[in-house]
Amino acid sequence: MANNKQDLIDQNLQDLNNDGVDRRGFLKCMAWAGTGLVWTMSGGIPVSRAFAKGYGKDAAKSGDFTFVQISDSHIGFNKPANPDVTATLQTAINKINAMQHKPDFIIHTGDLSQLSKPSEFDTLDQVLKGASPKQIYFVPGEHDMLSDNGDEYLQRYGKGTKGTGWYSFDQKGVHFVGLVNVANLKAGGMGSLGQDQLEWLENDLKGRSASTPVVLFAHIPLWTIYPDWGWGTDDSEQALSYVKRFGSVTVLNGHIHQIMQKVEGKVSFHTAMSTAFPQPAPGSAPSAGPMKVPAEQLQQVLGITDVNYVVSGRSLAVVDSPLGASSPLASGKETEW
Amino acid sequence: MATKNVWIAGLVPPVMLAVLLLTAASPRVKANDAANAEVKIDNFSFGPQSVTVPVGATVTWTNRDDIPHTVVSTEGVFKSKVRDTDEKFSYTFAKAGTYPYYCTIHPKMTGQIVVQ
Ligand SMILES: [Cu+2]
């Protein structure tokens, strides 16, 4: 309870301001500019870019590509504020299918299901089948590991992965690593990667050129957002020490059902909205449980994250778009962080 | 040698039985329904966080959150299945001791049962 919400926000802003850019103004500015928050990493200095001007129109040079992050679909959840999480996931998929620049693939950062039930995974598969990108990469959330130590999840989504479901792959010169920080959690702790996975990660990154852009993705944030609610990973520092030498590192997480971002040197951290239900800002509620919002506001607090990789400058731009058409961000309203 | 063994074997059972009766008698009498305890799971926490019960008492956990939780002994003594909203888990404590436990989904959630 040491942190109240304001302390935490100030702390985040301080982190954001390390590079001398007035990020408070920046975030406001970006909120004015388009349908989502946009930032481009270029040599460690964030450069603003209006989503409205569109990656699809002026980019798409060969080698550039886009992928979409979705998170926390929680199929099986049926309580306020969202009695139909399948429908909102479908809305997210429709939004992806309508994108001007077709994404190469989708990353789902976990909590696919509410209770790891086969029927929930079946429903998820049914909806995802309709997505235009056919390649979907997954990492599990704690809700996906509830039955038989995650066997149900691993059988369906973990083919060819190591340990509890971690793996890496390359896409057009960008190295992606899917990490699992929801297995074998210790009493009193937060998320955990564990020694086996850390050793694997160190080896996986070894020998790669420092100019390779690296994307790490995992369910629980790999940076400490709010320890009282377990919003962090106990051994993330160790993992991040292995990526320090790389020129561009993007860390994508879910779990907290809201957008949070931080830039620390060459590493930019980002958490995505859920497609199912929102969660309160850190410390703003008695617990991290689902936040109840009026039905007409729901689509503004759910969303997807669109990541554009631009070859020139090896930069990644992260764009969050709410599911709802008339988002507070698109309407030019200021959003305080 | 053989005779001695038989003599010991014949003596021990009544002694053991007496010991069992002595140790079992007093807690059994105390552990009536009133000694059983309830733990509620609200807002990602176990309440009360620490509960003291006599040997033989049954503790029942009820999940009142919108999110599933588990009740799992840190030392492997008991382990609930996933408990969704309003689902319960009970465990009857046959031995004295302190039993720390947590939610394996949200490990910041911890509690303990003290059995005396
Ligand atoms: Cu829990």
Question: What residue has token string 């306020």?
Answer: A80
- Ligand 1 center from residue A37 Cα (angstroms): 32
Nearest chain A residue to B83, by CA: A115
What the block records as the tokens of A288 is 């991290």
- Whichever domain contains B86, its CATH number is 2.60.40.420
Residues of A in contact with B43 (CB under 8 A): 286-287, 289
In a domain, residue B59? The reply is: yes
Residues listed for chain A: 337
- Sorted by sequence, the CB contacts under 8 Å of residue A123 that are 6+ apart come out as A75, A76, A86
Q: Give the one of A80, A116, A289 whose C-beta lies nearest to B44's C-beta.
A: A289
Q: Which residue has the tokens 């394996």?
A: B104
Residues from chain B contacting residue A146 (CB–CB below 8 Å): 68, 70, 82, 105
The three-state secondary structure class of B29 is helix
pTM: 0.79
> Is the ipTM value over 0.95, yes or no?
no
φ, ψ of residue A140 in degrees (nearest 5): -80, 150
- How remote is the CA of residue A236 from the centroid of ligand 1, in Å? 21
A80 neighbourhood in chain B, CB within 8 Å: 66
Contact A155, A198 (CB under 8 A): no
Task: Report the residue of chain A nearest B106, measured CA to CA.
Answer: A230
B107 → closest Cβ in A143, A186, A288: A186
Delineate the domains of chain A, giving CATH numbers in brackets.
2-335 (3.60.21.10)
Distance between the two ends of chain A, CA-based, in angstroms? 20
Residue B65 in contact with partner chain A when CB distance is under 8 A = yes
Interface of A with B (CB under 8 A): 79-80, 114-116, 142-143, 146-147, 185-190, 227-230, 286-290
Distance (angstroms) between ligand 1 centre and the Cα of B88 equals 13
What residues flank ion ligand 1 with Cβ within 5 A?
A: B 69, 103, 105-106, 109
- If one counts the domains in chain B, the total is 1
How far apart CA A176 and CA A332 sit, in angstroms, is 34
What percent of chain B is modeled with pLDDT above 70? Answer: 71
Tokens standing for B63?
């999940």
Can you give the pLDDT at residue A305?
83
CB contact under 8 A, B110 and A230: no
CA distance A155 to B66: 28
Give the mean pLDDT of chain A: 79
Q: What is the pLDDT of residue A307?
A: 82
Cα angle A80, A86, A87; round to 5: 85
Residue B86 lies inside a defined structural domain of this protein: yes
Chain B neighbors of A286, CB-CB under 8 A = 43
Do A168 and A214 contact (CB within 8 A), yes or no? no
State residue B62 phi and psi, 5-degree precision.
Answer: -125, 125
Residue B51 lies in a domain: yes
Of B66, B82, B104, the CB nearest to A115: B82
How far apart are alpha carbons A237 and A250 in whole angstroms? Answer: 15
- All residues of chain A having their beta carbon less than 8 Å from the beta carbon of residue B78 are none
B47 Cβ under 8 Å from any chain A Cβ:
no
CA-based nearest residue in chain A for residue B74: A187
Q: What distances in angstroms separate CA B67 from CA A57, A78, A143, A249, B83, one per listed residue?
A: 42, 11, 10, 33, 9
Strands B50-53 and B37-42: unpaired
Task: Indicate whether B70 belongs to any domain.
Answer: yes
Tens digits of per-residue pLDDT, A263-307?
888 898 999 999 999 999 999 999 999 998 888 888 888 888 888
pLDDT of residue A122: 98
The pLDDT of residue A264 is 87
HSE-up of residue B41 (Cα within 13 Å, Cβ side): 30
How far away, in angstroms, is B86 Cα from ligand 1 center?
Answer: 13
Question: In Å, how far is A40's CA from the nearest CA of chain B?
Answer: 34
Which residue segment(s) compose the domain that B47 sits in?
37-115
User: Is cis: bond before A81, omega within 30 of 0?
Assistant: yes
Where chain A has pLDDT below 70, the residues are 1-63, 311-315, 325-337
pLDDT at A66: 84
pLDDT category at B34 given cuts 50, 70, 90 is low
Residue pLDDT, tens place only, B43-78: 999 999 999 999 999 999 999 999 999 999 999 999
DSSP of A161-226: -BTTTBEEEEETTEEEEE---SSSPPTT--B---HHHHHHHHHHHTT--TTS-EEEEESS-SS-SB
In this predicted structure, what is the pLDDT of residue A99?
Answer: 83
Query: Which SS3 state, helix, strand or coil, does residue A261 take?
Result: strand
Cα of B79 to nearest chain A Cα, Å:
12
Is B13 inside any structural domain? no
